[in-house]
């Protein structure tokens, strides 16, 4: 496995792969890898000749009061884990390498970014699209791998790929969970022991909302049940819980086929997100 830290070195590796007509799988990450990231890499390994994993904590997607400086970083650990699942190239640039100049040009994420996580994090998804577009151009992947845990992010990136004609196949991999249902996340390390015990209530609430909606077709009462579950079982503060048509992230209608139920909850000072996507039963 090769670890490259400059765009020049990455370009050399990509050009070599392209000259050999090899397929390239990209796994974009912010590092501090967990099983969810490794599952993405394993999927990429199974489907491509060359697997590239980016490890870059992207400052443009963090707000002024968010945790950019304290976001966990451990490149030696990450590179060892990446190698263990067959990653061929780790691209781990500095901020200065990724953003040497700022000409002021931005990608605006659009309506999908004004709700859910975007409502409380203005500009966040603009920053996500900025770095993902750069990674797409630099790695020229055949396929790019993302986790369903960031369902809104996946929907927004998929819209960019569609509308801007990126020649990339997006692959979305199901959420990897702990035994008690908590979605694996780099931010889970911030939870105290008692907070960690409360955190699985988020996924429990999402399941309750899903089951209630499938049984009744009533989104409003499904959300009330989910919120009550979290409030009764945690000391957490709910940022949002929503039921929306997926992947458009619009209100549910009679024509809706897939539904996203998503939540963001502060457990202590840690903001946890989770979701599930399900198909509407016939007749609802």
- Is 170 annotated in some ligand binding site? no
DSSP, collapsed to helix, strand or coil, labels residue 73 as coil
Contacts of residue 35, defined as CB under 8 A and 6 or more positions apart, other chains included, come to 176, 184
pLDDT band of 283, cuts 50, 70, 90:
very low
- Is 118 annotated in some ligand binding site? no
Which domain covers residue 205, as residue numbers?
186-276
- Average pLDDT across the chain, whole number: 95
In a domain, 117, yes or no: yes
pLDDT digits (tens, 9 = 90+) for 165-195: 999 999 999 998 999 999 988 889 899 999 9
Q: What percent of the chain has pLDDT over 70?
A: 99
- Is 147 annotated in some ligand binding site? yes
Residue 64: predicted pLDDT:
84
Count of domains in the chain?
2
Task: Clarify whether residues 25 and 149 are in a common domain.
Answer: yes
Catalytic residue flag (residue 37): yes
Selected catalytic residue, list 37, 124, 212, 229: 37
Residue 284: predicted pLDDT:
46
pLDDT band of 282, cuts 50, 70, 90:
very low
Task: Clarify whether residues 26 and 153 are in a common domain.
Answer: yes
208, 232 contact by CB (below 8 A) = no
Q: What CATH number has the domain bearing residue 50?
A: 3.40.50.620
- Is 227 annotated in some ligand binding site? no
Task: Clarify whether residues 32 and 119 are in a common domain.
Answer: yes
In a domain, 40, yes or no: yes
Residue 66: predicted pLDDT:
84
- Is 104 annotated in some ligand binding site? no
Residue 197 clears pLDDT 50, i.e. is over it: yes
From 106, 138, 173, the end of a domain falls on: 173
Task: Clarify whether residues 48 and 103 are in a common domain.
Answer: yes
Task: Clarify whether residues 73 and 207 are in a common domain.
Answer: no
In Å, what is the CA distance from 192 to each residue of 3, 220, 270? 34, 32, 10
């Amino acid at each position: 496995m090769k670890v490259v830290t400059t765009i020049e070195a990455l370009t050399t590796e990509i050009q070599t792969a392209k000259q050999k007509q090899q397929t390239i799988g990209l796994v974009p990450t912010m590092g501090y890898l967990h099983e969810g990231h490794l599952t993405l890499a394993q999927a990429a390994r199974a489907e491509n000749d060359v697997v590239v994993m980016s490890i870059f904590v992207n400052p443009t997607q963090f707000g002024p009061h968010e945790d950019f400086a304290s976001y966990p970083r451990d490149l030696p650990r990450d590179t060892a884990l990446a190698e263990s699942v067959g990653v061929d190239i780790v691209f781990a640039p500095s901020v200065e390498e990724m953003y040497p100049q700022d000409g002021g040009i931005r990608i605006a994420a659009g309506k999908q970014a004004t709700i859910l996580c975007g409502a409380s994090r203005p500009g966040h998804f603009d920053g996500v699209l900025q770095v993902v577009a750069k990674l797409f151009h630099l790695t020229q992947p055949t396929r790019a791998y993302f986790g369903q845990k960031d369902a809104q992010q996946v929907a927004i990136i998929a819209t960019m790929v569609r509308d801007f004609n990126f020649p990339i196949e997006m692959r979305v991999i199901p959420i990897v969970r702990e035994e008690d249902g908590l979605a694996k996340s780099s931010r889970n390390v911030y939870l105290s022991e008692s907070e960690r015990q409360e955190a699985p209530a988020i996924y429990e609430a999402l399941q309750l909302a899903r089951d209630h909606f499938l049984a009744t077709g009533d989104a409003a009462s499904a959300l009330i049940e989910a919120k009550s579950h979290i409030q009764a079982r945690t000391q957490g503060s709910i940022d949002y819980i929503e039921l929306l048509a997926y992947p458009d992230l619009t209100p549910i209608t009679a024509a809706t086929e897939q539904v996203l139920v998503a939540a963001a909850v502060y457990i202590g000072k840690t903001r946890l997100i989770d979701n599930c996507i399900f198909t509407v039963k016939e007749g609802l």
